[in-house]
Amino acid sequence: MAQLTVCKINDIIPETGVCALVNGKQVAIFCTKQTQLFALDNYDPFSQANVLSRGLIGGTTIINEDGSAENVLYVASPIYKQRFNLVTGQCLDDENIILDTYKVELEGSDVIVKYN
């Protein structure tokens, strides 16, 4: 698996995202107040624009197929407001849409995205 240092952790204001070019593809990287990092496609399939890194992070509770409740962090698109699970890339508003996600790690102060 390849990896790329995309920025320093201080380059990402908590509760926001940044965009990086990873292996020729735009990737949105998000950081929470607890310094949790998430990375998924920057491309919003609903507006057909690379804008998700400018979206708002939020949280909600979803009910799984087995009836259990799960707390989910999401990014809401800045265009039409569809919400995408930051862990899985699943669109919470359209079950047919799933974005690619990427492993992202903090090594010292470097934000590292891993990809195939």
pLDDT in tens, 61-70: 999 999 999 9
Residue 29 · residue 104 · CB < 8 Å: yes
- For residue 4 the two structure tokens come to 């790329």
- For residue 19 the two structure tokens come to 């965009």
Cα 68 to the chain's mean position, in Å? Answer: 24
- Residue-wise pLDDT for 9-61, tens only, equals 999 999 999 999 999 999 999 999 999 999 999 999 999 999 999 999 999 99
pLDDT at 92: 98
- For residue 24 the two structure tokens come to 């020729």
Neighbouring residues of 35: CB distance < 8 A, sequence distance ≥ 6: 9, 14, 106
pLDDT at 113: 98
**26 CB-contact burial (10 Å; exposed 0-12 / middle 13-18 / buried 19+):** middle
Q: How confident is the model at residue 97 (pLDDT cuts 50, 70, 90)?
A: very high
What global pTM score does this model have? 0.95
pLDDT at 43: 98
Q: How far is CA 115 from CA 3, 70, 82, 111, in A?
A: 6, 27, 25, 13
